[in-house]
Structure 1
């Protein structure tokens, strides 16, 4: 019974920890408005997980998903975590999933761990293969040589 209680508590606390993304931040990322993003970034939210459409994203991973290049660059400049996992994916895994080669390269420059695996034992290369992100596949493979 104790195990069941702690399992339920863990699941509830995981979902309770993510907050809904507010419409202002979402709009800023959708329009890639870096000036407004600077006004929205705080030390408390830069690495938080935000709920959006049944998934969770950091501001950095959401900028990758939405291809918000200027906001992505600003978040890197503001030292957003390149390793923070939300929804069981790192920013590099999102770059692989969405075939964002330039962003993947910037994440590597920022010190991302290329071969990290999530709790399902998936790597960025696995996501690149699943979503047929050919440029990312070649890029990741170039580190194995």
Structure 2
């Protein structure tokens, strides 16, 4: 019975795991090349979690991490999920981690839930404090007034 359980678990985890991001797509984001992004972007790939360096990211969170402002704007315009969680972090949490105030404001404008917590009970404010993202801390606190 134990063997059957672990076999089923292994099969499920194999299908549920993120796919490796292609070199082309990685380069597009690293170079913030929105023209090339449009060529690579399909609706079914918009909200996938992609594996990069043993961590999972959505295209939106990768654009935040890499500070790819044009690609970020295009992904928001294409209705990428602003709530998609990969690696137990939402895009808004990544803006807090990397102190990307302009991107944080764009996510709020797109309807992001500011006070969402991950499975570890962490919020974007917790990430902003951990990474000393002073602008994001003040921005998030401004919603409490």
TM-score normalised by structure 1 residue count: 0.93
1:70/1:88 Cα in 2 relative to 1: closer, same or farther (>3 Å)?
A: same
Deviation at 1:9, TM superposition (A): 1.2
**Deviation, structure 1 residue 102:** 0.1
CA distance in structure 1 between the aligned counterparts of 2:14 and 2:111, rounded to whole angstroms: 27
Structure 2 matches for 1:1-145, cutoff 5 A? 5=5, 9=9, 13=13, 16-145=16-145
Question: In 2 relative to 1, CA 116–10 (structure 1 residues): closer, same or farther, beyond 3 Å?
Answer: farther
Q: Distance in 1 between matches of 2:79 and 2:14?
A: 24
CA distance in 2, matches of 1:37, 1:48: 15
Give the gaps of 5 or more residues in structure 2: none
Q: Give the Cα separation in 2 of the matches to 1:42 and 1:71.
A: 14
Distance 1:90 1:36 in 2: 25
Return 5+ residue gaps in structure 1 as ranges: none
Q: Deviations over 1:74-126 (max 9, x none)?
A: 00000000000000000000000000000000000000000000000000000
CA distance in 1, matches of 2:144, 2:52: 35
User: RMSD over aligned Cα, in angstroms?
Assistant: 2.0
Residues 1:143 and 1:10: Cα distance change in structure 2 (over 3 Å): farther
Equivalent-residue separation in structure 2 for 1:27 and 1:79 (angstroms): 22
Q: State how far apart, in whole Å, the 1-side matches of 2:89 and 2:52 are.
A: 15
Return the TM-score normalized by structure 2.
0.93
Q: Distance in 1 between matches of 2:43 and 2:63?
A: 17
- Distance apart, 1:17 and its partner CA: 2.5
Pair 39,97 (structure 1): closer, same or farther in 2 beyond 3 Å: same
